Structure 1
Amino acid sequence: MSAVAHSGPGGLLETDTRLRLLLIEDDAADAFLFEELISESEPDVEITVARTLGEALRSLTPGIQCVIVDLSLPDAAGLDVLRQVLKATPYTAVLVLTGLADAHVGVAAVGAGAQDYLVKQDVDGPLLSRAIRYAIERKRADESERQLVEARILGRENARLERGLLPVPILADPAIGHDARYRPGRDRALLGGDFYDTVQVEDGTVHGVIGDVSGHGADEASLGVRLRMAWRTLVLAGHTGSPLLRTLDTVLCHERWSDEIFTTLCMFALDPDRRSLRVWRAGHPRPLLFTPDGVRALPDEHCGPALGLLPGLDWPVAHVDLGEHWSLMLYTDGLIEGYSGNDDGERLDLDGLLELAAAAHTRGDRGRALLDGLIGEAERRNGDVLSDDLALLLLSRGEMR
């Protein structure tokens, strides 16, 4: 009946009905009695017996669901035994064995983190089986509650940080609609390497940017925030166009931790008449323009290299006539790198996005509904949530709002 068992979060949450136990007991007679008692009610059980704390700590590998521990061992005693076991296996249920004269120690052990205690002289097979099962279920419930509390705390903290790190647009023109969506690709991440911003300056020009730092992780997210703040500062100082991008390229080269790090970026300057637009692209996907006549991607011929690749170059400008009613959508490649939903395994890419956008335009989607609809349909075709960082920025005017 002896077997090597395992300890860890995986063991606690296993659905297998077989019990996998570690008994820490230096008395061979008591260990034999324990095995006999548990086999009365649990014939399908695996037990590892350790006679010292050191031997027990070496036996704690993933899979053990419950540790039953005597607090009087040759190499440790009292609550110190329990503390070391709990430290070594924080996700596993722990049941403490005591003698008649040490029942108060069992109460203290529960206060220190054990799920329950048993007095050796009062134990029979059914009671032992119920106590072990109860300890496992209680530990599972405690772990679920801990994760729930952690998620709530993380959610509140993320909300506070997002208010400080995600941009609040500086936009004074009530005729312009502004909508954005942002979602990091990493689980539980607050920010990804994507960024966006919108700033209206004194002459009425509205500047906007969207960018994507290569890679995924906290470092990329931090660099994205720094680039966005540098961009906003440069715009408010009166810079625009290729000179601004050269300065931002210099900032990137000084702030990055590796020469392999680059950033794709698209920025625009919406003229005060709101009928014309200047666009600069640095290796970034083409924006979409929605008008009453339909949807199209902005021309591809005006595009320079991503920031961080070829310092000192100029980025060409594209001039776009908007008309009276329009929506301009900028996005990062997280929106188009999911699967297209076809059996050929192709990516959505620009052609697929144009197809989705045309359908949304036909439905009359506007503003937030347009962005949410495009993300939802891209995820449906992908067969799962989009795994990459994702940012969308939409400016609208007239009947396209």
Structure 2
Amino acid sequence: MQKYIMHLDMDAFFASVEQMDNPELRGKPIAIGSPHKRSVLSTASYEARKFGVHSAMPSHQALKLCPHLILVPGRMARYKEISNQVMSVLGNYSPIVEQASIDEAYLDITGTEKIFGPPLALAESVKRDILKTVGLTASIGIAPVKFLAKIASDLKKPAGISIIEADEVDQFLITLPIEKIPGVGKKALPRLHSFGIRYAADMRRYPPEFWKERFGERGLVLHAKGAGIDPTPVAVGGQMKSSSAENTFGDDVRDPQILKTWLLKQSERIAADVRKKSLKGRTVTLKVKFPDFRQITRSKTLDQRTSNAGTIFKTGCDLLDAEGYLGPVRLIGIGISNFDERSEQLSLLTPEQNLSDDKKLEDLDKAVDKVREKFGNAMLTRGSLLKLSSGK
């Protein structure tokens, strides 16, 4: 049976929601962001993209390209509401749906022809259903494997459908620039070019040993993709892989205590996020960006998984202190990942001690969550945050 994977990507999602909710914004160049000099755009409408405006672009640069650009503050709660409706629609077409982000998802539609007709007919039905349900358009890609389905969904944006059949894969890879392959970043691109590799099919000129030696396990994955191979299945539920938070400062920050104040606020947010999903992570990652846009990330893997803000915060502070004085900082952030229970290590403490300490932390976190859920986030502030804020 021919395998078919569908990738659906909502068109300019955040901006489209704003234009749908506010008729005055329709047909105008808008972007989600603020005029603050350090603000970065999250999404731009197609009207704005005609001027070269795109996501992750600094607001001041976007305004130079498009002086009449309308900046709209984001409404994440509204975007999540619409996203949930979209995912509900997708669940009507396949029991195997993986939500990849707030505005995109994969579906395994293998064997659905008897119910919905051929893949093209199914894709048309999905688009119509989403438009009718939420009033927005989506682009769809269909291919035998996930990474090609994702690439295909971008070929005819907005509101397009692209299908790569199994017997068309080889020809498609011959003309596919390697930078279009997920996992090939800006740093890897010049190195790949130095080997004469410019299109996906060029990867086949070198054996797996070549890729393993120069790029490690990631190299073997890239080599496989060059042959159109991607064994990654569509994962039902699409469990969250990480949770992170970061803040860009209006003015560069030099004081380590202020940086730690923000780390604690962020640790509170991501800890609450993973607890809502009944997850615990083992790897804490610190992110620091400097005024010249240079960036460093530092990670530490804990002996045990955690969803406790204090543990995440302390680990982030340890990583920050290990760097010494960094000078002016433009952005700081922290995240937690590695939610796989199987990777948990043994501790030097006895099981009874571990269970006792963990139970106390979990009970405290649950109590905090209940109070904040009822009265709001501002009702409880950790003592450590108050001490940091006061400089004590």
Normalising by structure 2, we get a TM-score of 0.20
Query: Could you say which structure has the higher strand fraction?
Result: 1
User: TM-score, normalised to structure 1's length?
Assistant: 0.20
Structure with the bigger percentage of helix? 2
The structure having more radius of gyration, on CA atoms, is 1
